[in-house]
Amino acid sequence: MRLFKLVGFIALFSTQAFAVTLQMTTRNGRDYTLDTLTDRVTTAATEFVICGDQVENIKKVKLWMTEHGHGSTPTVIGPVSEGCRNISKVNFTMPGDWDVRVELSDGDSGAFIVTVDRE
């Protein structure tokens, strides 16, 4: 599985401009982006937009902090719109490196590595 760190460029989704875009390729080669409206990801982050191949098959998005061996509260996956889904209730409980793990209904998976700053 290939993982990518933050890429700091502006992306567009509908009429919203995103400040941070992360990229990830799953084990089976599907490409996804994860976007946020803020210029950096902090412990106050509450929402992302995920776009990519077969986004309608995403069944779970899990927050996991590998260094400390724990996760966070469950996220909520919104409906598909223009090849993207809204991910809400994103609650990073502390700063540091987090995995935003994506599981698809066919067993494929991948993870974005997100560096979270203190609010």
Query: Sign of the C-alpha dihedral, residues 80, 50, 112, 67?
Result: negative
Report the number of distinct structural domains present in the chain. 1
* Domain of 64, in residue numbers: 2-116
pLDDT of 35 reads 94
Assign residue 29 a region (left: φ > 0; alpha: ψ between -120 and 50; beta: otherwise): left
- Looking up residue 69, the CATH number of its domain turns out to be 2.60.40
pLDDT digits (tens), the chain, 119 positions: 333 333 332 233 344 556 789 999 999 999 999 998 788 899 988 899 999 999 999 999 999 999 999 999 999 999 999 899 999 999 999 999 999 999 999 999 999 999 999 98
The answer to whether residues 41 and 117 touch, using CB atoms and an 8 Å cutoff, is: yes
